[in-house]
Chains A and B, each alone.
Chain A
Amino acid sequence: MMQKIVSEIGGIGIYGVVSVCLFFAVFSAAMLLAFLQKKTYLDSMSVLPLESGERRPEVKGRTRDE
């Protein structure tokens, strides 16, 4: 009974509807933003981890197993 009373707070049902609408709005906005990007830009961003600007070769030496 207690649960029933609490679940019937005035207008609380709207929270569920608003929440789902908000999710679809955010999801759609992210989709839109993502798909409107130029491929050249996306390619340039995705290689960023590979360009650290370091002035030395990555690894030298030998492993014990070699």
Chain B
Amino acid sequence: MKIETFKYDNRIVRAFAIATVVWGIVGMSAGLLAAIQLFWPAANLNFQYITFGRLRPVHTNAVIFAFVGNGMFMGIYYSLQRLCKARMFSDRLSWLNFYGWNAIIVAAAITLPLGFTTSKEYAELEWPIDIAIAVIWVAFTVNLIGTILKRREKHLYVAIWFYLATAITVAVLHVVNSLEVPASMWKSYSIYAGVQDALVQWWYGHNAVAFFLTTPYLGMMYYFLPKAAGRPVFSYRLSIIHFWALIFVYIWAGPHHLLYTALPDWAQSLGMAFSIMLIAPSWGGMLNGLLTLRGAWDKVRQDPMLKFMVVALTAYGMATLEGPMLAIKSVNSLSHYTDWTIAHVHTGTLGWNGFMTFSVLYWLFPRLYDTKLWSIKLANWHFWIALLGMMFYVIPMYISGITQGLMWKQFTAEGFMQYPNFLETVLQIVPMYRLRAIGGTLYIIGTFMMAYNLWRTAKSGVFVPDVEAQAAPLSEQAHVDDKHPWGHRALEAKPLLLAFLATVAILIGGAVEIIPMYLVKENVPTISSVKPYTPLEVMGRDLYIREGCVGCHSQMIRPFRSETERYGEYSKAGEFVYDHPFLWGSKRTGPDLHREGGKYPDAWHYNHLENPRSTSPGSIMPSYTWLLSQKLDVTSLPARIGALRKVGVPYPVGYEAVALTELQTQANKVSTNLVTGMIHADADREIIAVIAYLQRLGTDIKNAPVKPAPAAPAVKAAAEANTAQAKN
């Protein structure tokens, strides 16, 4: 048999590995600074670029797309070559993937603090960067499929199926959710509004967790765990079921992020049902991993890499049990908008993604540098510190979330709200925020220890840029293959068919959610009194987006008495038809703002934004002093009005010509109002626009024409009976 000799590319793996460590430290540090600001708001040093609202997306994007993203490419580029017994399809594409992806991350690290954001969670980057992401993702996908096509191993191992599903699904999600109309270089408006935008966003957001944070890492687990344990995966059969069930079910579960909102009830129930079903494939995968260690648990004691892997799998198991539980509507009514969600996601990210990445890094570096790990002791120290850090993070967040959730819902025996002032419920959990920051600090210290250990490992060895390997070409292997290949085996030998079927599997769930979304679009009851925002309110809303207010304030009052008592009338789908993008939010560090309009005078908002503690003693909201001094940039107003019209807001043609005059008139009114509160503010400052927007929030339905109240059924029946009697 002819044997070919070829070389695996280690350079690209090393590049991604180093980027993983560097971005991990950056992303986690951004998270720590954001966490500190939650009990010490002045930690932003009154520097607008690092306030909580702008820093949070820096943290989430850095840890998801920079840390886990580079970690994912590191794992894929190493394992794919070896599982296909082939070098990557194109070294140029590999490096385009590396430099392009990391340039995107640098662009994100610059633009997000500047306030260039779409505000859609985990999809905050503006349209030029969105296009760059699509291009680089295509380069990665071509390289992935190209490598698979030139492989020397006839059948695709389970890890590769997960990589394929990742490449396809992330592309679909990113394109559909990022459809937006640009108003300028760094400002765009989502083509979807309100309910539709929320549904598409959480179809994306949930599946970013599924297909960016989960499937590639499951693929890595299927490769690196058997490698480290020195034994095959526990059940290959189970991996087949795991793969198909997981990718099929995951895509449906997005609506569980929108339970009890204005999203149609059927979509909420569908999301809940599929979320519960997700336990089966998720736990199938976790058990397959843990059982791979059957008979090799002694190795776990000695090998820190396996320790990290075991905790990663356990955290995955906990998070994937907890997720479906949180998707049950009654549980969600308590957990939603609280720190419980934060605890849940950090079990997944710190435990599953973090520990899995650390595990693979500890395994890879000695192999890349042809040496042994510099210090196993230090790696063990890292393990325990990171584990302790994770506990110190998630346990206070559980306590905080449940405490606050219960306080929001607590009524006195007389039927009044026990804690009518939202701030009371915040002050109660501030100690938990301090503990969380300690947890985060410990976790980062561990990461620094790892970076040092890996650096010393690299120094003690010699880098092996190319690893020589041998295998027979596919053409030579055909004759030794089974003469009757069928079933899944045939599929594993046909990568394009497998990719096609995986695409169908993920599109079914997407279609079932998206198609009714268009039906909903035609059926969202329009409320005649709901009107488009005025030019000043548009600018104010864009500032609200720039400052990341949505990170702490929801705009979605759920139909519970505890919410309508606190905030006012519950939110209706028809109120959001001009909201491009929707700003429902997913966390209430501060109170909901949907009925904020008219609640306080303009001067209160001015004082509150200048120094939140002047109106709300003990508040943990940052001061927004720059809004008071910065001039509102109205040069892009006509373009913004034009872009909003393109996405469906019914501004009349030619409105751009009068928009500026209208803006100035309204700004002067706000400025005059402020004078009654002894405040003298120029009408051309940013704060005027923000106040105008806040005062508009949720007020439209109050202007609805008054209709005669419909008669109660009993009264109606009695009246009908009377009429009938009179006739007789």
Give A contacts to B, CB under 8 Å: 2-3, 5-7, 9, 12-13, 15-16, 18-20, 22-23, 26-27, 29-31, 33-38, 41-43, 45-50, 52-56, 58-66
Report how far A2 CA is from B235 CA in the complex, Å.
49
Q: A3-B262, A15-B512, A30-B244 are in contact. Are A45 and B155 (CB under 8 A)?
A: yes
Contact with A along B528-559 (1 / 0, CB 8 A): 00000000000000000000000000000001
Q: Contact: A23 with B523, CB < 8 Å?
A: no
Report how far A63 CA is from B366 CA in the complex, Å.
10
Q: A37-B489, A48-B83, A49-B227 are in contact. List 18 more A-B contacts (CB 8 A).
A: A2-B572, A3-B262, A6-B573, A7-B266, A9-B519, A15-B266, A18-B512, A19-B270, A23-B249, A34-B488, A45-B158, A45-B492, A49-B82, A49-B233, A50-B230, A54-B469, A63-B374, A65-B376
Report how far A18 CA is from B66 CA in the complex, Å.
39
Q: Contact: A52 with B82, CB < 8 Å?
A: yes
Q: Distance in Å from the Cβ of B502 to the closest Cβ of chain A?
A: 11
Contact among B277, B487, B519, B524 with A23 in the assembled complex (CB-CB below 8 Å): B277
Q: Distance in Å from the Cβ of B581 to the closest Cβ of chain A?
A: 20
Task: For A65, list chain B residues within 8 Å (CB).
Answer: 375-377
Q: Contact: B371 with A19, CB < 8 Å?
A: no
Q: Contact: B274 with A56, CB < 8 Å?
A: no
Q: Contact: B469 with A52, CB < 8 Å?
A: yes
Contact with A along B146-181 (1 / 0, CB 8 A): 000000110101110000000000000000000000
Of the A-B pairs whose beta carbons lie under 8 Å apart in the complex, a sample of 10, sorted by A's number, is A3-B264, A5-B523, A5-B525, A6-B520, A7-B266, A12-B516, A48-B155, A54-B82, A59-B366, A61-B372
Task: For A23, list chain B residues within 8 Å (CB).
Answer: 248-249, 274, 277
Surface stretch bound by A, among B460-468, B560-568, B604-612, B687-695? B460-468
Q: Distance in Å from the Cβ of A9 to the closest Cβ of chain B?
A: 5
- Is B406's beta carbon under 8 Å from chain A? no
Q: Contact: B371 with A59, CB < 8 Å?
A: yes
Q: Contact: A61 with B274, CB < 8 Å?
A: no
Q: Distance in Å from the Cβ of B267 to the closest Cβ of chain A?
A: 9
Q: Contact: B222 with A49, CB < 8 Å?
A: yes
Task: For A30, list chain B residues within 8 Å (CB).
Answer: 240-241, 243-245
- Is B238's beta carbon under 8 Å from chain A? yes
Q: Is the interface of B mostly helix, strand, loop or mixed?
A: helix
Q: Report B483-521 residues with CB < 8 Å from chain A CB.
A: 486-489, 491-492, 505, 508, 512, 516, 519-520
The chain A residue with its CB closest to the CB of B195 is A6
Report how far A58 CA is from B487 CA in the complex, Å.
35
- Is B23's beta carbon under 8 Å from chain A? no
- Is B597's beta carbon under 8 Å from chain A? no
Q: Contact: B505 with A26, CB < 8 Å?
A: yes
Q: Distance in Å from the Cβ of B367 to the closest Cβ of chain A?
A: 6
The chain B residue with its CB closest to the CB of A3 is B265
Q: Contact: B370 with A61, CB < 8 Å?
A: yes
Report how far A52 CA is from B461 CA in the complex, Å.
21
Q: A16-B273, A27-B245, A49-B223 are in contact. Are A54 and B467 (CB under 8 A)?
A: yes
Task: For A46, list chain B residues within 8 Å (CB).
Answer: 226, 232-233, 235-236
Q: Contact: B375 with A64, CB < 8 Å?
A: yes
Q: Distance in Å from the Cβ of B702 to the closest Cβ of chain A?
A: 16
Q: A54-B469, A58-B367 are in contact. Are A43 and B516 (CB under 8 A)?
A: no
Report how far A59 CA is from B676 CA in the complex, Å.
77
Task: For A52, list chain B residues within 8 Å (CB).
Answer: 8, 82, 85, 469
Task: For A29, list chain B residues within 8 Å (CB).
Answer: 244
Contact among B372, B456, B467 with A56 in the assembled complex (CB-CB below 8 Å): B467
Task: For B83, list chain A residues within 8 Å (CB).
Answer: 48-49
For B5, B266, B375, B525, which residue has the most chain A Cβ atoms within 10 angstroms?
Answer: B266
Q: A6-B264, A6-B573 are in contact. Are A34 and B372 (CB under 8 A)?
A: no
Task: For B207, list chain A residues within 8 Å (CB).
Answer: none
- Is B79's beta carbon under 8 Å from chain A? yes
Task: For B573, list chain A residues within 8 Å (CB).
Answer: 2-3, 6
Q: Contact: B227 with A50, CB < 8 Å?
A: yes
Q: Contact: B237 with A35, CB < 8 Å?
A: yes
Q: Contact: B266 with A33, CB < 8 Å?
A: no
Task: For B377, list chain A residues within 8 Å (CB).
Answer: 64-65
Contact among A7, A34, A45, A64 with B265 in the assembled complex (CB-CB below 8 Å): A7
Q: Contact: A42 with B375, CB < 8 Å?
A: no
Q: Distance in Å from the Cβ of A52 to the closest Cβ of chain B?
A: 4
Q: Contact: B468 with A54, CB < 8 Å?
A: yes
- Is B471's beta carbon under 8 Å from chain A? yes
The chain A residue with its CB closest to the CB of B378 is A64
Q: Contact: A26 with B248, CB < 8 Å?
A: yes
Q: Distance in Å from the Cβ of A50 to the closest Cβ of chain B?
A: 6
Contact among B248, B277, B470, B487 with A53 in the assembled complex (CB-CB below 8 Å): B470
Q: A9-B519, A41-B489, A55-B470 are in contact. Are A62 and B237 (CB under 8 A)?
A: no
Q: Distance in Å from the Cβ of A32 to the closest Cβ of chain B?
A: 8
Report how far A48 CA is from B377 CA in the complex, Å.
31
Q: Report B208-265 residues with CB < 8 Å from chain A CB.
A: 222-224, 226-227, 230-233, 235-238, 240-241, 243-245, 248-249, 252, 262, 264-265
Q: Report B64-116 residues with CB < 8 Å from chain A CB.
A: 79, 82-83, 85
Q: A19-B274, A65-B377 are in contact. Are A50 and B370 (CB under 8 A)?
A: no
- Is B373's beta carbon under 8 Å from chain A? yes
- Is B41's beta carbon under 8 Å from chain A? no
- Is B574's beta carbon under 8 Å from chain A? yes
Q: Contact: B371 with A61, CB < 8 Å?
A: yes
Q: Contact: A9 with B461, CB < 8 Å?
A: no
Contact among A12, A45, A59 with B266 in the assembled complex (CB-CB below 8 Å): A12
Task: For B470, list chain A residues within 8 Å (CB).
Answer: 53, 55
The chain A residue with its CB closest to the CB of B484 is A38
- Is B482's beta carbon under 8 Å from chain A? yes
Report how far A43 CA is from B487 CA in the complex, Å.
16
Q: Contact: A9 with B523, CB < 8 Å?
A: yes
- Is B673's beta carbon under 8 Å from chain A? no
- Is B269's beta carbon under 8 Å from chain A? yes
Report how far A42 CA is from B563 CA in the complex, Å.
55
Task: For A20, list chain B residues within 8 Å (CB).
Answer: 273
Report how far A64 CA is from B381 CA in the complex, Å.
14
The chain B residue with its CB closest to the CB of A52 is B82
Q: Contact: B232 with A47, CB < 8 Å?
A: yes
Q: Distance in Å from the Cβ of B198 to the closest Cβ of chain A?
A: 13
Q: A31-B241, A64-B375 are in contact. Are A42 and B266 (CB under 8 A)?
A: no
Task: For A13, list chain B residues within 8 Å (CB).
Answer: 266
Report how far A55 CA is from B491 CA in the complex, Å.
30
Report how far A35 CA is from B158 CA in the complex, Å.
16
Q: Contact: A62 with B516, CB < 8 Å?
A: no
Task: For A3, list chain B residues within 8 Å (CB).
Answer: 262, 264-265, 559, 573
Q: Distance in Å from the Cβ of B628 to the closest Cβ of chain A?
A: 38
Report how far A49 CA is from B239 CA in the complex, Å.
14
Q: A37-B237, A37-B489, A48-B153 are in contact. Are A43 and B232 (CB under 8 A)?
A: yes
Report how far A19 CA is from B511 CA in the complex, Å.
11
The chain B residue with its CB closest to the CB of A24 is B277
